[in-house]
Amino acid sequence: MNDYSIIVSASQDQACGEKEFEIVERKGIGHPDSICDGIVEAVCNRLCQVYMDNFGRILHHNIDKGLLVAGRSSPRPGGGKIIEPMRFVFGDRGTCEFAGVKIPLSDIAQDAAENWLEQHLRFINPQRHMRYQSEIKPGSEELVDNLMDEEAGANDTSVGVGYAPLSPTEQTVLAVERWLNSPSFKEVYPVCGEDIKIMAIRTGKRLEFIVAAAFVDRYVKDAHDYYEQKQALQSEISRFIDGLHLPFSEIKVVLNALDDPEWGEAGMYLTVLGTSAEAGDSGEVGRGNRVNGVISYNRPTTTEAAAGKNPINHTGKIYNLLSHQLAATIFAKVAGIKEVTLWLCSKIGAPLGQPVLVAVEVKPSAGVHLHELAGPIRAIISDELAHPDIFLQQMRMGEFTVF
C-alpha cells in the first residue's frame, strides 16, 4: 500500500504542439549559463568519485551555486585578444574532512572545471583565460547527518515536474543546437563558436527561429567575409530544419539579429573564444536549460537548479529528472495518451520512493476516457517508486544530462 497520493486528472487544455502559439529556448554549451551548469555538474561528479574512491560512499555536498563573471576582450577580424580573464566562483557546500582525512575541495573543483572547459570549449585555455574562486564551505550538521543514514531521506521539500512527448518545436530547438555544436559541424564551420542561443516562436504552423551564434574572429577576414559566412550558416540552418520533416508550413531563420553593417566591426557578433562570457555576458547556475534540455515557456516548470546537486538525496535534482523519466515511460507504455505532465513533491526527511504527492495530468487521445488510463498510469508510478535505487544508479552513472 502506497503512503502517498497519486492524482490522475484529464487536461482541459490543448496539447502543447496544438496551441495557437509556442515559445521555446535553448542555450548552447558555450552560453555563460550553460558553462556554469556544466562546470558545477562536473565538480559534483568529481566529488562523488573522490568520495567513493576514498571512503566507499558519497558524502554530503551540493555544488549548485556558481557564478561566471565575464572578462574583457577585443575581438577583431583575423584574431583579437583577451584583455582580462573570466572568473568562476564556486559556491555552496561540501564535505571537506571525513574520518580524519582532509579533502581539498578547492583543488578538486578547479581541476574538474579546467577539464570540463578543455573538453567542451575549443578556444578557452582553462589556466590562462579563467580565474577560480572557491567559496565551498562545510554543510549544516542536520543535512550532513541526514545523508549519513543508510537510507537517506529527501534533503529538501521541493517539486519536480516533467512532461512527454516533446512538441515538434521543442524537438527542433534541441536538434538544431546539438547539430550546430557537433564536432562534424565545427569541422565545416569552425567560425561558429559554442555560444549559441536559440529562441523559437511558433504561431500556428509558422515557425520563426531566432539564433544568436558567436563567431570566432580568427576565422573572419573582414566585414564582407563575416556577412558571407553568416548568410551561408543561416541557409544551412534552414536546410537542416527542412530536413527534419516536421509539421511547419513556413520557417523563417534569423541569425545574429543585432548585426548592422553600418557599425563596422562593432556591428558584428565577433568573439575571440567563441563565447560571450569573454566580455559581454556573465552566467549563473540554474538560469539556463531545464533538465530535458530546453526552456519551454508554455510548460509548467520549477525554479530548481539541478546541476551540481548531489545524486543521493537532493530531490531538486532527482525529482526533476525522475518526473521527466516517468512521463516518458507513461507516454510510451500507456496507449491513448496525446500528452502527459507529471509533478513529484518531496518532503524533507521522507524516503525518496515516498513523495508526499504525485500528480499526473493527461490529454487523452480522441475517444479515450480517463478511467481507461488511470489504472495503468498508477501501476507504472507505483512500480517505479517502489525501486528508486534503479533510477538513482542510472543517474549516478551519468546516463542523464541535467541541462
pLDDT in tens, 266-292: 789 999 999 999 998 999 999 999 999
Closest CA to 323 of 375, 360, 286: 360
272 found inside a domain: yes
210 found inside a domain: yes
180 found inside a domain: yes
**Grid coordinates standing for 124?**
578557452
Peptide bond just before 126 cis, omega within 30 deg: no
C-alpha distance from residue 363 to each of 15, 17, 26, 133 (Å): 7, 12, 25, 48
- Between the two ends of the chain, the Cα-to-Cα distance in Å is 35
| Full residue range of the structural domain in which residue 209 is found | 16-27+167-284
pTM: 0.95
CB 58 within 8 A of CB 51: yes
C-alpha distance from residue 247 to each of 78, 140, 327, 368 (Å): 41, 52, 23, 24
Domain count, the chain: 1
pLDDT at 149: 56
CB 28 within 8 A of CB 275: no
150 found inside a domain: no
Distance between CA atoms of 216 and 218, rounded to whole angstroms? 6
pLDDT at 399: 83
Tens-digit pLDDT profile for the chain (403 aa)? 567 899 999 999 999 999 999 999 999 999 999 999 999 999 999 999 999 999 999 999 999 999 999 999 999 999 999 999 999 999 999 999 999 999 999 999 999 999 999 999 999 999 999 999 999 998 766 555 555 655 678 989 999 999 999 999 999 999 999 999 999 999 999 999 999 999 999 999 999 999 999 999 999 999 999 999 999 999 999 999 999 999 999 999 999 999 998 887 778 999 999 999 999 899 999 999 999 999 999 999 998 999 999 999 999 999 999 999 999 999 999 999 999 999 999 999 999 999 999 999 999 999 999 999 999 999 999 999 998 888 888 888 778 899 9
pLDDT at 280: 86
Looking at residue 250, which CATH number applies to its domain? 3.30.300.340
255 found inside a domain: yes
316 found inside a domain: no
137 found inside a domain: no
Instruction: Using CA atoms of 36, 42, 43, 46 in order, give the dihedral in degrees to the nearest 10.
Output: 180
Q: Which amino acid is at 10?
A: A
pLDDT at 175: 98
Determine the 3-state secondary structure of 274 from DSSP: coil
Q: What is the C-alpha R_g of the chain?
A: 23
374 found inside a domain: no
